[in-house]
Amino acid sequence: MRVFYPALMAILLLTACGHSSLSHKFIMEPQGWDKFKTLTFSEDKFNNEKPYKISLNLVLNEKYREDNFTFQMIYESGEGESWNRAFTVEIKEDDKFIVRPEGGKMLYSKVLIPEKYLNAGKYNFEIVNLNPRIITAGIESLEIVFEQ
C-alpha cells in the first residue's frame, strides 16, 4: 500500500496542476463569413482563481484574399462589466500566406489577451467581422479559446 500511495499522490498533483480550457468554435458557410452576421455565444463556466489566456484559432483556405483578418470582440457580464476591442491577425506578407498551407488549409493561432480575470457568472460575447468585403471568402472556422 505504501507504493500505491505516493503514486496516487503524484497523479493527483499532476491533475491539480493541469490547465482548464473552454472554447467556442464557429464553422462558416462555404461562401464565407457575411460581414453583417455577428457571431454570438454565452459562457457561464468561468472562475476567477487564475487569469485566462484568450486565444483565436482561425482556419483559412486559399480563397482568402485579404492581407490580414480584423475583427472586434465585445463582451458583457451579468454584473454590468463590458469590454470592446478590435484585433488584427496578419495573414499575408508580400501577397503570400504567412502560414504554409497543408491540404489547402491554413491554421492561424494568436493569443489575443495573455491574462484576463473573468469572474464567475454569465458572459455574452459578440464577434464582429471588420474586413471590408461584404462576404469574406476563405474563412472555414473561427474558434475562441479560454485557457486557465
Q: Give the Cα separation of 126 and 75 in Å (integer).
A: 6
Domain 20-147 fold: Jelly Rolls (2.60.120)
* Cα within 13 Å of Cα(60), Cβ side: 25
Indicate whether 127 pLDDT > 70. Answer: yes
Cα 6 to chain centroid distance, Å, stands at 38
Mean pLDDT of the chain: 87
Q: Residue 8: what pLDDT?
A: 35
Amino acid at 84: N
Q: What is the predicted pLDDT for the residue at 116?
A: 92
pLDDT of residue 6 exceeding 80, the answer is no
Helix (H) or strand (E) holding 16: helix 4-16
60-115 residue pLDDT tens: 999 999 999 999 999 999 888 899 999 999 999 998 899 888 888 999 999 999 99
45 to 33, 63, 92: CA distances (angstroms): 28, 36, 36
pLDDT tens digits for 131-142?
999 999 999 999
DSSP assignment letter at 131: S
144 closest CA partner among 57, 44, 28, 79: 57
Please check whether residue 146 is in contact with residue 73, taking contact to mean a CB–CB distance below 8 angstroms: no
CA quadruple 48, 116, 83, 38: dihedral sign: negative
